[in-house]
A and B are shown apart, each in its own frame.
Chain A
Amino acid sequence: ETGVTQTPRHLVMGMTNKKSLKCEQHLGHNAMYWYKQSAKKPLELMFVYSLEERVENNSVPSRFSPECPNSSHLFLHLHTLQPEDSALYLCASSQDLESPLHFGNGTRLTVT
């Protein structure tokens, strides 16, 4: 079983849809992250949670809404997205905010 599991692996949605991305970590880590990876761009940090409290929100549009119900689960709720939001969305976890990251395999999102 992988340490960080993301579902779904692929998602195609229209601009008016509402969907959610799910991330689960089995490593006992205290911090969880959402990153966006677009072609020809560095990984962009979106949100950081530490001990279920949001500690970072990197000027992300409100059409992206994170939720961290417990230290093992992280969601990214999506609504009224734009085509430029199409990207690979990566979830990661770490023991604490200073430790290296363990990534899931991502959700490939396409907005039509």
Chain B
Amino acid sequence: TQLLEQSPQFLSIQEGENLTVYCNSSSVFSSLQWYRQEPGEGPVLLVTVVTGGEVKKLKRLTFQFGDARKDSSLHITAAQPGDTGLYLCAGGRTNAGKSTFGDGTTLTVKP
């Protein structure tokens, strides 16, 4: 059973555009992480959100955790080619001791 669903699966945009990707679940998570993976490399942690309704900003990236801690979104403003990559969300559940990963959104930003 896939606990975390990410959408869209693929997204191709022009440099300078804004975009939002989503991570949804029917399960409650104690925390949620967003990772970015570039070709030939492992995923790199971008942010962790732990409180329902929490909003975190990392330069042009804005992350939001849903009030019920079941979903999250990542908004990128004025996308750049360097933002290209696979964006993965991962949820941690209290006492579970492991992260569940979504299947990712592949973002391509064209110059």
Contact = CB atoms under 8 A, between A and B. Distances in A.
User: Do A and B originate from a single complex?
Assistant: yes
Interface stretch (B54-62, B68-76, B93-101): B93-101
Interface string A67-100: 0000000000000000000000010100001101
Sort chain A's interface into a size bin: 20 to 34
A104 B2 contact: no
Sort chain B's interface into a size bin: 20 to 34
A43 B45 CA distance: 15
A102 interface: yes
A102 to B, nearest CB: 7
A65 to B, nearest CB: 20
Contacts of B85: none
B48 A100 contact: yes
Interface of B: 2, 4, 30-31, 33, 35, 40-45, 48, 88, 90, 92, 97-99, 101-104
Given A98-B31, A104-B42, A105-B41, 20 more contacts: A41-B103, A42-B103, A42-B104, A48-B98, A90-B42, A90-B43, A97-B97, A98-B92, A98-B97, A100-B33, A100-B45, A101-B33, A101-B35, A101-B90, A101-B99, A102-B45, A103-B43, A103-B44, A106-B41, A106-B42
